Amino acid sequence: MPLALLNPDRPAVEYGELSSTDADALRASASAADAGTVVRIVRGSRSRTAAAFFDELSAALQLPGDSGANWAALTDVLRDFALYGGTSLVLIVIEAEQLVAADPDPLAFLTLLDVFTGVDREAREEGEHRVRLLLAEAPGALARLQPRVKDIGLPVALAQFTL
């Protein structure tokens, strides 16, 4: 199962139903199976603005305080993992319908998807590592997320994922 997270045929960004318990189990099993893969969980409810997302991500990845809190800094952090650190990164966002939903920039969500897609493309061109973003909603709650990912006009293949 964890190896499917890094399957080169899967898109950089996916969405689907996944309980927080299953997200924790997925993180634990992926980390145990492959030391070259870092799987972290971020809460959308604690990431309602881009600034809050950067804080939540910094805590999840245990980044130093001077890591920056903007899209360029996020791009650098993701590149550090996949291109320079020799590590794949899978970020699972639970409660994803809330992810940057209150940000004053209406393009924040699209920018986030674009950053992950772009860095994943770079990483795949350079080698075997991946940078993936899994947007998760609790079972039965997928309808809350679907309006945000449907017809967004980005070249991102959004497909549902299952355990």
pLDDT of residue 64: 82
Q: What is the C-alpha separation between 141 and 132, in angstroms, rounded?
A: 22
For the chain, percent of residues with pLDDT exceeding 90: 49
Q: pLDDT: is 108 or 161 the higher one?
A: 108
User: Tokens 């890094």 sit at which residue?
Assistant: 6
User: What integer pLDDT is reported at residue 94 of this predicted model?
Assistant: 95
Cβ atoms of 119 and 75 within 8 Å: the answer is yes
Domain ranges of the chain: 2-149
Assess contact for 86 and 36: CB atoms under 8 A.
yes
State the pLDDT at residue 11.
84
Judged by DSSP in three states, 51 sits in helix
Q: What is the pLDDT of residues 131-163, one digit of tens each?
A: 999 998 888 887 888 778 776 654 334 555 544
Mean pLDDT of 65-94: 90
What mean pLDDT do residues 120-132 have?
Answer: 92
CATH of domain 2-149: 3.30.370.10
pLDDT one-digit tens code per residue, 20-61: 898 898 888 877 777 788 999 999 999 999 999 999 999 999
Closest CA to 94 of 58, 60, 69: 60
What CA–CA distance (Å, rounded) separates 121 from 93?
Answer: 20
HSE, side-chain direction, 13 A CA sphere, residue 8: 9
Phi-psi region of 15 (alpha: psi -120 to 50; beta: other; left: phi over 0): beta
CB 69 within 8 A of CB 9: no
